[in-house]
Amino acid sequence: ELKLPSYKGQSPQLHLRRYFADLIAIVSNRFRLCPAARHLAVYLLDLFMDRYDISIQQLHVVALSCLLLASKFEEKEDSVPKLEQLNSLGCMTNMNLVLTKQNLLHMELLLLETFQWNLCLPTAAHFIDYYLSIAVHETDLHDGWPMVCLEKTKLYMAKYADYFLEVSLQDHAFLNYAPSLVATACVASSRIILRLSPTWPTRLHHLTAYTWDFLVPCIERLLIAHDNDVKEANKQKGQHAQSAQHIAFQTPAPAAQQANAQQHVTQYLQAHQSSLQYHHQTSQQQNCQQISSNLTASYPLQTCPSALQSSVQGRGHVQTGAAMSLTVPLEVKPCISVSYNRSYQVNGRYSCVTPCFER
């Protein structure tokens, strides 16, 4: 990780970077490639764009070649996309592009020479499984109470971590952080959204070697992106309801929740220190049956049929003609079936619109 090539963010086509990163995500999801291949492909694209001035047509070839190299490095041979499959993609037909074995081989050789034949480049996706192994523990508390179902919490942790990993692909600003730091921030952000305490337990500090203060800038970016995605999902739901019922849609969220996401996140992060301590149960006399009922209702799997699917499915990419309008994550939108006046409260400081969990 310390030997990774430098990234300067000086590509003349930097404004197109989001489009091609999402294109790689779409194609990798279509061919069911692993997250490591997807993240490595985007990283190769970033490094290559940073060094060359490339036409838009050639960028399509470069992006697909990066994905091919990454899949050959990370996947089994049977999973590597074939030439005819790539040529059948909508983006290729829309651009009137046809890949041949010769020009594809030429592009792969150019990429390999650029990277000095070294594709062993760690990304956040290479660290996430290691950190998820202890991301949730039976000693963690949910809303200040013991967890009823540890396995279900681990499932949601993995899904949210995968979501935040995809968020990190959308913005080249995350290349300013070490891949292990991005993966760590994805786990920390997931714990915040799931309302687990302590927010950053000692075991994760020891395993990742990152202190909370060091993670704050990256966590802030991830949480702001999450809030924006939920607001977009809320907006989309309102538009669908208006179209179906021919009535004006009134957003039920209070004004406080419509405030800028930056303010919410900053307030939480400024008060993070007290959350580093384990929270103890304050009332042992409360009826256990009631606790179990409340916590079980917080994790209704049936309310999230498509919100956080496994990484083999797309994370909010829509292709429309020759252009693509790409937003992350669209899959959270069908999940927005709960009222928007319900919000997360983590230690009473961080508040954002609830995307999945019935409260």
Per-domain residue ranges of the chain: 14-115, 124-223
**Same CATH fold assignment for domains 14-115 and 124-223:** yes
Q: What are phi and psi of 326, to 5 degrees?
A: -125, 125
Highest average pLDDT, of 179-188, 258-267, 318-327, comes from 179-188
Structure tokens belonging to residue 63:
């992006």
Structure tokens belonging to residue 286:
């409360």
Architecture of domain 124-223: Orthogonal Bundle (1.10)
Residue 95's pLDDT band (cuts 50, 70, 90)? confident
Q: Check pLDDT > 50 for residue 198.
A: yes
Residue 224: count other Cβ atoms within 10 Å of its Cβ.
18
pTM over 0.75: no
Average pLDDT over residues 287-309: 35
The superfamily (CATH) of domain 14-115 is Cyclin-like (1.10.472.10)
- ∠ CA(186), CA(2), CA(109), 5° rounding? 95
